[in-house]
Structure 1
Amino acid sequence: MTLYAALIYGAELDRGDGSPREMSSEYAEFSKAAAAVIRGGEGLYPTSTATVVRVIGGKGGDVVTTDGPYAETKEVLNGFYLLECADLDEAIATAARIPGAWHGAVEVRPVIEFA
C-alpha cells in the first residue's frame, strides 16, 4: 500500500457565507465512506492567515517572513487528506469523491516515506 497526499484546491472559502456547514456534511459523508483508506487530513485556515518563511543566503542566513499567501491565484490550498491506497488508480478514484474536486481540483501525489 502506498501513501498519497490529496491536496484540495478551490476558491478561497468565505467563512460567513454559510457554505462551510453544507461542505461539512459533504465532507463528513466522504470521510465515513472512505474511512478505510484515510490516514489523516485537515482543513486549512484562509490564506490571509498564512506566513511565508524564506531563508536568504541558505542555511544560517537571514530569516524573512511575509504575511499572506506565497502567490495570488484563483485557487488556494484549502485542505488535504493522507490516503493509503493500493495504487494510483484507487487514490484517483478516492480523490474524485472528495467534495473539493466537484468545485475545484484535488492534486494526488505519492508520499515519500522516510524511515
Structure 2
Amino acid sequence: MEYMLIIGVDESVPTPGPGEPGFDEMMGAWAAYTRGLFERGVFISGGSLHPSSTATTVRHEHGSAPAVIDGPFAETKEQLAGFYVVRAADLDEALALATELPLPAGAVEVRPLRMRPDETGAPRPVS
C-alpha cells in the first residue's frame, strides 16, 4: 500500500535558513531520515515546499471558470511544508514512519493513496 505523509508546520515559528546556526544539523536529520527510507526500500517520492507566501491557488467553482488567487487557499495555522510518499504494509507501518520524521513541531497527516498515474498518464488504483 502507498501512503502520503503530509507535513504541516506553523510558519510563524522560525527555522534556521542556509548559513544560519542549526541549519546544517536540521538538514542532516532530514537527509538521514530520507536515506533510511531509501535503505528500507519504502521511499517513492517526496519534497519540501517554499513557504505558503509563495503560493498561488487556482480555485475551481462548479459552473464557473477557474480563478487564480495569490496565496494559499486554506487559512490555517499550519501550512503544508512538504510530503513523502512511502510504501508500507499497512497503516501501522505508515504511522511508524511518520513518527520517525525529524519534525521539531507540527503535524503529519497520514493518508493512503487511492490512485496514481502510470507511465502513460492513465490513472491506476494503488494497492
Gaps of 5+ in 2: 116-122
Q: Which has the higher contact order (CA 8 A, sep 6+)?
A: 1
Aligned amino acid, residue 43 of structure 2: I
3-state secondary structure, aligned to 1:71: coil
Q: Give how far 1:62 is off.
A: 2.0
Q: Give how far 1:54 is off.
A: 1.5
Deviates more, 1:46-55 or 1:16-25: 16-25
Distance in 1 (CA, whole Å) between partners of 2:67 and 2:53 is 18
Asked if 1:85 is matched to 2:85, the reply is no
- 1:8–1:15 Cα change, 3 Å: same
3-state secondary structure, aligned to 1:72: coil
Distance in 2 (CA, whole Å) between partners of 1:75 and 1:33 is 26
> 2:9: which partner in 1?
10
How many residues are matched?
111
Query: Normalized against structure 2, the TM-score is what?
Result: 0.77
Q: Give how far 1:11 is off.
A: 1.8
Gaps of 5+ in 1: none
Query: Normalized against structure 1, the TM-score is what?
Result: 0.84
Cα RMSD for the two superposed structures: 2.0
Please, which of 109, 112, 126 is the counterpart of residue 110 of structure 1? 112
Q: Give how far 1:16 is off.
A: 4.0
Asked if 1:69 is matched to 2:72, the reply is yes
> 2:33: which partner in 1?
30
Q: Give how far 1:93 is off.
A: 0.3
3-state secondary structure, aligned to 2:109: strand
Deviations 1:60-96 (A, max 9, x none): x322111111133221110000000011110000110
Distance in 1 (CA, whole Å) between partners of 2:43 and 2:5 is 10
Aligned amino acid, residue 4 of structure 2: A
- 1:49–1:23 Cα change, 3 Å: same
